[in-house]
């Protein structure tokens, strides 16, 4: 996927590059159920697992989160904190890894409140701090 965007940028193919950016925004919205976090959290187990894995691949492949329509000034991105309430512990860990890459100050690794939120949401009572 990264090769496609770099090729279009190098060829200065503006129209297809714009379509590619729109596709990436659509893909993000598809995996987050069009931004409806509540519907996403009530999705079945398999869909949530697959969505978290795909979102992790997207954020590790593309470091520029503005490609997905996410920016530092958008307070609406705080709704993604609900991902930490997933009932499957592995999804919480993957969600935290995704959230740490979203360019919102509250999602930063050094923010103690997100670490506390993650620690209080684990069902076994253990605190897992990822530094």
pLDDT at 51: 87
pLDDT at 6: 76
Domain parsing of the chain, residue ranges? 2-121
Is the pLDDT at 83 greater than 50? The verdict is: yes
Token readout for 88 is 């499957």
Tens digits of residue pLDDT in 14-48: 888 888 889 988 888 888 866 565 567 778 888 88
Euclidean distance between CA atoms 73 and 76, whole angstroms: 9
pTM of the model: 0.71
Provide the CB-side half-sphere exposure for 33 (13 A, CA): 16
């Amino acid at each position: 996927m990264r090769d496609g965007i770099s090729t279009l940028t190098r060829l200065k193919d503006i129209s297809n590059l714009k379509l590619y950016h729109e596709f990436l925004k659509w893909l993000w919205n598809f995996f987050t159920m069009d931004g409806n976090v509540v519907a996403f959290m009530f999705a079945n187990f398999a869909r949530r697992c697959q969505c978290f894995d795909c979102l992790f691949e997207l954020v590790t492949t593309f470091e520029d989160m503005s490609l997905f329509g996410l920016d530092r000034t958008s307070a609406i991105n705080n709704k993604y904190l609900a991902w930490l309430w997933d009932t499957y512990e592995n999804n919480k860990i993957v969600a935290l890894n995704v959230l740490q890459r979203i360019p919102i100050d509250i999602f930063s690794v050094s923010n103690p409140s997100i670490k506390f939120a993650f620690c209080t949401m684990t069902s076994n009572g253990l605190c897992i701090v990822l530094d």
